[in-house]
Amino acid sequence: MEQVLTLVCKLNPTPSQSEKLEVVLHAFAAACNYTNEVIKPQITSKTTIQNVVYEDLRSKFGLAANLAVRACARVGANRLVAKRAGKPVKAFKPTSADYDARIFAFREKDWTISLTTLEGREHIKIDAGNYQRGKLKGRKPTSAQLCKHRDGKYYIHIQLKDEIPDPQPIKKVIGVDFGRRDIALTSNGDSWSGKQLTETRDRYSTARASLQKKASTRTRSSRRRCRQVLARLSGRERRFQSWVNHNISKTIIQQAKSEKALVAIEDLTGIRERTNQKPRNKTERRRSNSWAFYQLRMFLEYKGLKDGVEVVAVPPAYTSQTCHQCLHIGLRSDKKFKCGNCGLSCDADWNGAKMIAALGTSVNSPRGSNGLYCNLSTDSSGLLKAHTVFGTPNQCG
C-alpha cells in the first residue's frame, strides 16, 4: 500500500520568475476553462479529453506538453468530483497548476525546485524549515502543485509517496471511546481528561463572545482591532487542540504497535447524534459539535497507517448502553454503567471502550466467539468500517 504526504513549501522566486509563474497559472486555468467548455459535459476520461484538445492547449495557450496533459487530467478529475457531489464544475481560477516528473524536479544540494514555465525551465529557491528538510532529504518526488495562496505568495505542494508497512498480525484489540468527560478512554484503561481542554475552550469561548459583541457595536477602529484579536484567538485555540490530539493519537498508536493490537474507534459520523441525545445546554452542544473528534480520528488513521497499525471504525449505536460482558442492554447514568443481566457495575465510558474493543474483535474474526457479526466496507476516506449485526451467543457459540 501507498501513503501520500503533501509537503507545502514557500517559494522564493525572483521578480522575473514571479511573472513567469503568474503566466503559467493564468495559462493553466484558461486551458482548463477552455477544455471544460469544448468537451461534452459527461466525459470525464482524461485520455478522451486529451485526444480532443491536446493540440489546442499547446497552440492556443502555449502550454508545454506535460502541462497540457495535466490540464486535461485536472478537468477530468474535477468533473468526477462535481459529478459525485451533483454540482456543476466550478470555473478554474489562476491559483494552481499541476506538475509531474517531466516538468518538475527537486534538487537537494541547493534546496531548489525546477518548474517548466511557458518560457522554459526555472530553478526556484524554496523556504524549507527543519520539518520540510527532514521530509525531503534523499527524496526524488515526482509530482507537485504550484499554488498561489491567499497571501499572494507562491507555494509548491510536493507529493511524497511512501510505501507503508503491511498491517501487523493482530493479537488483541484496543477500543477507544471518544467521550464527553474524557477526550478519549481506551479499553486498556488509559484516559485523557477533557478537563483542561474544556476549560481552555470555555475560556476562549467567553472571550470570543465578548469580542464578537464589541466587534459589532463599537467604533470602526475598535471593531477592526476586535476582529484581529478574534482571528488570533481562533488560531491559538486550534493549535492547542491539535497539539493535544497529536499526543493522544501518538500514544494510542505506539501502544497498539507494541502490543500488536488493532485499534477500534467509534464511527464518528454519529457522534453528534449520540452526545446530543439528551437535550443539552448551549455549552455542552458547542463542546460536542466540534471538529476536534474528527481531527483525532484523522490523526489515528494517519499514524496507524504509517506504523502498520490497523484502525477500524465500529458503529457507535449501542456502545454506550450495551454491557461488554454479556451484550445485554444495561442502564447508563452519566458516569456509571449497570447491567441488570450479569450484574456488572463500572465506569460507563470504560464499558463503552470495552464494547468498542469487542466490536473490533468481531471485525478481526467475522465469525468470532463473542457472538457479534460484522460486515465490512471502506468509507470515502479509506477507513475500514464495520456494520454490526448483533448475533445471539447461541447462534454462533
Q: Judged by CB, which is closer to Zn ion: 342, or 389? A: 342
CA distance 157 to 96: 10
In the numeric block, the cell 473528534 is attached to: 293
The least distance separating Zn ion from the CB of residue 322, rounded to whole angstroms, comes to 8
The secondary structure of residue 313, as a DSSP letter, is: E
Q: Judged by CB, which is closer to Zn ion: 73, or 344? A: 344
The least distance separating Zn ion from the CB of residue 371, rounded to whole angstroms, comes to 13
Q: How many residues does the chain have?
A: 397
CA distance 71 to 50: 9
Among 365, 364, 277, 285, CA closest to 318: 277
CA distance 382 to 394: 34
Q: Judged by CB, which is closer to Zn ion: 99, or 337? A: 337
The least distance separating Zn ion from the CB of residue 329, rounded to whole angstroms, comes to 9
Question: What is the contact surface with Zn ion in residues (CB under 5 A)?
Answer: 323, 325-326, 339, 341-342, 344
Q: Which long-range contacts (CB under 8 A, 24 or more apart) does 77-86 make?
A: 77/46, 78/32, 78/36, 79/36, 79/41, 79/43, 79/44, 80/44, 83/44
Say whether 347 sits in a helix, a strand or coil.
strand
Q: Judged by CB, which is closer to Zn ion: 164, or 326? A: 326
The least distance separating Zn ion from the CB of residue 328, rounded to whole angstroms, comes to 5
CA distance 13 to 18: 6
Phi first, then psi, for residue 259 (nearest 5°) are -95, 5
Q: Judged by CB, which is closer to Zn ion: 69, or 358? A: 358
Q: Judged by CB, which is closer to Zn ion: 341, or 381? A: 341
The least distance separating Zn ion from the CB of residue 393, rounded to whole angstroms, comes to 12
The least distance separating Zn ion from the CB of residue 392, rounded to whole angstroms, comes to 14
Q: Judged by CB, which is closer to Zn ion: 339, or 363? A: 339
CA distance 57 to 37: 13
The least distance separating Zn ion from the CB of residue 364, rounded to whole angstroms, comes to 22
E strand map for 218-344: 261-266, 311-314, 331-332, 336-338
Cα R_g (the chain), whole angstroms:
26
Q: Judged by CB, which is closer to Zn ion: 14, or 341? A: 341
Q: Judged by CB, which is closer to Zn ion: 118, or 326? A: 326
The least distance separating Zn ion from the CB of residue 325, rounded to whole angstroms, comes to 5
The least distance separating Zn ion from the CB of residue 340, rounded to whole angstroms, comes to 8
Structure-block grid coordinates of residue 124: 526556484
> What Å distances lie between residue 146 and 18, 36, 161, 285, CA to CA?
12, 21, 18, 40
Say whether 239 sits in a helix, a strand or coil.
helix
8 A C-beta contact, residue 361 and residue 368 = yes
